[in-house]
C-alpha cells in the first residue's frame, strides 16, 4: 500500500505518529493509499524550520520572488495533465474539471508575478514641516493555509501564491482526502527555485489544525471549508492574535425572471448545479423562478437535460458530466437529506436514489436529483447538501425572490437571469452577497478583481 507523508525542508519526510488516514479511489470505493497524520511536535518543528527559511526569503527582493512565480507558471502548464490525473484519481472529478481546478489556481500565480508592483509602498512629500512620510509593505513571517478537499489544486494555489510572493513562509495543511496534488505543487515550487523550508506541507487532522492555531510563530491563517469549522478556526485564531480569513458554507441562489431566456437558464443551472457532483462552494443549489408560469416552464426545460447527464469515473472520457462524491459518508449524507426533502413535502421531480454504475457498484456515485416546490423551512433548503441536488423554490415576485437569497444563512454567491437591464442593475446594487452573476451562473471573479470588504464583484454577459 502506498504511503503519503509530508514535505519538509524541500523533501518528502516520513511521519512519526503512527497514525494514518485512508485515501480512497472514489470511483471504486477502494483504499488506494495511506496518509501519515502529523503530531503537534511535527507541526511545530515544521514551523520552526519555516521561520528560519523565511528570514532570507523575506529579504529577497520582490522581483526575484516574482521570477520564482514565473517559472512556477511554466511548470504548472508543463505538468497540467499529470496534476489533473492525480487530482481526478483522489477526488473523483472529471479530467476536464480537474484541469480547470489547476487552471484557476494558476491564474492567481500569474497575478503574483506582478508582486514588484503590487508590493510598492506610498510616499508623501512634506507631510509636516520638514517631514516626509512613507509606508512599506513587509511580510508577516510564517502563515498557514488549511484547505478543503473539493479544490485540492486551486485553493492551495490561491493561498500559497500571494503569501509566498509577499515574502512569507507558509505551512500548508491540505485535506487528508486528496493530498497528492498539494505535495506535487510543493515539488514544482522547489523546481521553480523556491528555497527549501519556505513552503512546508504538513498532512494531518484536527490535531494539526489545533497545532497551527496555537503556534505563536504563525501570524495568519487562511481557511476554506464548512461553516462550523470556519467559526472554530476564526474564534481560536482571533483569541491568539492571528489574522484569520475563513470561508464557510454556501447555499447559492439563482433567480430566473419571467423574461429570461429559459434555455440559457436551464443550461446554466445544470452546469452550475451538477458539475463536480455539486461539490463546489459556488455551486448553484437553489433555483428561484419568479411566477408559476416561469417555474413550470423551467422545470419542463430542466428535466430532460438532467436525465441525460452522464455520471461516471474520470477514466470514462471527457464527455462524463460528473463523477463520484468524495467519500461514502458524503454519499450517505446526500441520500439522507434527499429523503428528508421527500418526508417534508418537496416534490422529487428527478429521482437519482437508485443510481448504480455497472462495474463501479462500490464507488461513491450519486445520481442527479431535482426537487420542486421546496420551501424555506425544509432541511434541503437550509442545509448545504454538497451533492448533485438542485432545489426549486417558487417565488411569487422579484421582491420575494431577492429576499430568499438575502435572508439565507449562507451566501457565497448569487445570480439572476433576465433580459431586463433595470432588473439586472437593481439586483447587483441591492444584493448583500459576495459575488453576483448577471446571466452568469457561477460568478467567481478573476485574480485581478478586488475582494475588499464592501465590494461586490459582479459578472455579466
- Residues 130-188: pLDDT tens digits? 999 999 999 999 999 999 999 999 999 999 999 999 999 999 999 999 999 999 999 99
Judge if 236 and 270 occupy the same domain. Answer: no
> Of 188, 216, 247, which marks where a domain is finished?
247
**Nearby residues of 138 by Cβ (< 8 Å), 6 or more positions away:** 58, 167
Judge if 323 and 186 occupy the same domain. Answer: no
Judge if 189 and 294 occupy the same domain. Answer: no
Domain that residue 433 falls in: 252-460
Q: What is the mean pLDDT of residues 333-351?
A: 98
Judge if 315 and 419 occupy the same domain. Answer: yes
Q: How many helices (H) and strands (E) does the chain have?
A: 15, 20
For 157, list phi and psi in degrees, rounded to 5.
-65, -40
Q: Where are the beta strands (DSSP E) in 51-128?
A: 123-128
Q: Could you tell me how many residues make up the chain?
A: 461
Are residues 184 and 14 in contact, defined by beta-carbon separation less than 8 angstroms? no
Q: What is the mean pLDDT of residues 212-229?
A: 96
Decide: residue 304, CB within 10 A, 0-12 exposed, 13-18 middle, 19+ buried: exposed
CATH of residue 309: 3.40.309.10
Residues facing residue 171 across a β-bridge:
144, 200
> Of 201, 218, 247, which marks where a domain is finished?
247
pLDDT digits (tens, 9 = 90+) for 47-56: 999 999 999 9
Judge if 243 and 377 occupy the same domain. Answer: no
Helix (H, G, I), strand (E, B) or coil at 459: strand
Q: What is the pLDDT of residue 449?
A: 74
Judge if 83 and 228 occupy the same domain. Answer: yes
Judge if 346 and 424 occupy the same domain. Answer: yes
Q: What is the mean pLDDT of residues 415-426?
A: 96
Judge if 264 and 214 occupy the same domain. Answer: no
Please, which pLDDT band fits residue 450 given cuts at 50, 70 and 90?
low
The upper half-sphere exposure of residue 53, i.e. CA atoms within 13 Å in the direction of its Cβ, equals: 23
Judge if 146 and 6 occupy the same domain. Answer: yes
Judge if 231 and 296 occupy the same domain. Answer: no
Q: What is the pLDDT of residue 261?
A: 98
**pLDDT at position 453 over 50:** no
> Of 184, 212, 247, which marks where a domain is finished?
247
Q: What is the pLDDT of residue 455?
A: 44
Using CA atoms, how far residue 234 sits from 141, 246, 437, in Å, is 19, 6, 28
**pLDDT at position 337 over 60:** yes
Q: What is the pLDDT of residue 418?
A: 98
**Nearby residues of 106 by Cβ (< 8 Å), 6 or more positions away:** 73, 76, 77, 157
**pLDDT at position 451 over 70:** no
pLDDT digits (tens, 9 = 90+) for 59-111: 999 999 999 999 999 999 999 999 999 999 999 999 999 999 999 999 999 99
Judge if 384 and 451 occupy the same domain. Answer: yes
**pLDDT at position 461 over 60:** no
Q: What is the pLDDT of residue 351?
A: 98
Marked catalytic residue, from 102, 266, 281, 447: 281
Q: What is the pLDDT of residue 452?
A: 42
Helix (H, G, I), strand (E, B) or coil at 392: strand
Q: What is the pLDDT of residue 412?
A: 86
Residues facing residue 348 across a β-bridge:
371
- Is 281 among the residues known to form the active site? yes
Give the number of other CB atoms < 10 A from CB of residue 238.
13
- What CA–CA distance (Å, rounded) separates 250 from 260? 24
Q: What is the mean pLDDT of residues 225-238?
A: 95
CATH of residue 208: 3.40.605.10
Whole-number percent of the chain with pLDDT over 90: 93
Total structural domains within the chain = 2
Judge if 228 and 263 occupy the same domain. Answer: no
Mean of the per-residue pLDDT values for the chain?
Answer: 95
Amino acid at each position: 500500500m502506498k504511503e503519503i507523508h509530508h514535505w519538509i525542508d524541500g523533501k518528502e519526510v516520513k511521519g512519526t505518529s503512527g497514525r494514518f488516514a485512508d485515501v480512497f479511489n472514489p470511483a471504486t470505493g477502494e483504499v488506494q493509499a495511506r496518509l501519515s497524520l502529523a503530531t503537534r511536535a511535527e507541526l511545530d518543528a515544521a514551523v520552526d524550520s519555516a521561520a528560519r527559511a523565511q528570514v532570507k526569503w523575506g529579504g529577497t527582493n520582490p522581483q526575484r520572488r516574482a521570477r520564482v512565480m514565473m517559472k512556477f507558471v511554466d511548470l504548472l502548464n508543463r505538468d497540467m495533465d499529470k496534476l489533473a490525473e492525480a487530482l481526478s484519481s483522489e477526488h473523483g472529478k472529471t479530467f476536464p474539471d480537474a484541469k480547470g481546478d489547476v487552471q484557476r489556481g494558476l491564474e492567481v500565480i500569474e497575478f503574483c508575478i506582478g508582486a514588484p508592483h503590487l508590493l510598492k509602498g506610498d510616499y508623501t512629500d512634506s507631510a509636516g514641516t520638514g517631514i516626509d512620510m512613507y509606508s512599506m509593505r513587509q511580510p508577516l513571517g510564517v502563515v498557514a493555509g488549511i484547505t478543503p478537499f473539493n479544490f485540492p489544486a486551486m485553493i492551495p494555489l490561491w493561498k500559497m501564491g500571494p503569501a509566498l510572493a509577499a515574502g512569507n513562509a507558509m505551512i500548508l495543511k491540505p485535506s487528508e482526502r486528496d493530498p497528492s496534488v498539494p505535495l506535487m505543487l510543493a515539488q514544482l515550487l522547489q523546481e521553480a527555485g523556491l528555497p527549501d523550508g519556505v513552503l512546508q506541507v504538513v498532512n494531518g487532522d484536527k490535531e494539526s489544525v489545533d497545532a497551527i492555531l496555537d503556534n505563536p510563530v504563525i501570524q495568519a491563517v487562511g481557511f476554506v471549508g464548512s461553516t462550523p469549522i470556519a467559526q472554530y478556526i476564526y474564534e481560536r485564531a482571533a483569541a491568539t492574535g492571528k489574522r484569520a480569513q475563513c470561508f464557510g458554507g454556501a447555499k447559492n441562489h439563482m433567480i430566473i425572471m419571467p423574461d429570461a431566456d429559459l434555455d440559457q437558464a436551464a443550461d446554466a443551472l445544470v452546469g452550475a448545479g451538477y458539475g463536480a457532483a455539486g461539490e463546489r462552494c459556488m455551486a448553484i443549489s437553489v433555483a428561484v423562478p419568479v411566477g408559476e408560469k416561469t417555474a413550470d416552464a423551467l422545470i419542463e426545460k430542466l428535466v430532460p437535460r438532467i436525465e441525460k447527464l452522464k455520471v461516471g469515473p474520470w477514466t470514462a472520457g471527457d464527455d462524463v458530466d460528473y463523477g463520484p462524491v468524495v467519500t461514502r459518508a458524503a454519499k450517505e449524507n446526500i441520500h439522507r437529506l434527499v429523503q428528508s426533502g421527500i418526508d417534508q413535502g418537496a416534490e422529487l421531480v428527478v429521482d437519482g436514489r437508485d443510481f448504480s454504475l455497472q462495474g463501479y457498484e462500490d464507488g461513491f456515485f450519486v445520481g442527479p436529483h431535482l426537487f420542486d416546490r421546496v420551501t424555506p423551512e425544509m432541511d434541503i433548503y437550509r442545509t448545504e447538501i454538497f451533492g448533485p441536488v438542485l432545489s426549486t423554490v417558487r417565488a411569487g415576485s422579484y421582491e420575494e425572490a431577492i429576499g430568499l437569497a438575502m435572508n439565507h444563512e449562507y451566501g457565497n454567491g448569487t445570480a439572476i437571469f433576465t433580459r431586463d437591464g433595470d432588473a439586472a442593475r437593481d439586483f447587483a446594487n441591492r444584493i448583500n452577497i459576495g459575488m453576483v452573476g448577471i446571466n452568469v451562473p457561477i460568478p467567481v471573479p478573476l485574480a485581478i478583481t478586488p475582494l475588499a470588504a464592501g465590494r461586490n464583484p459582479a459578472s455579466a454577459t
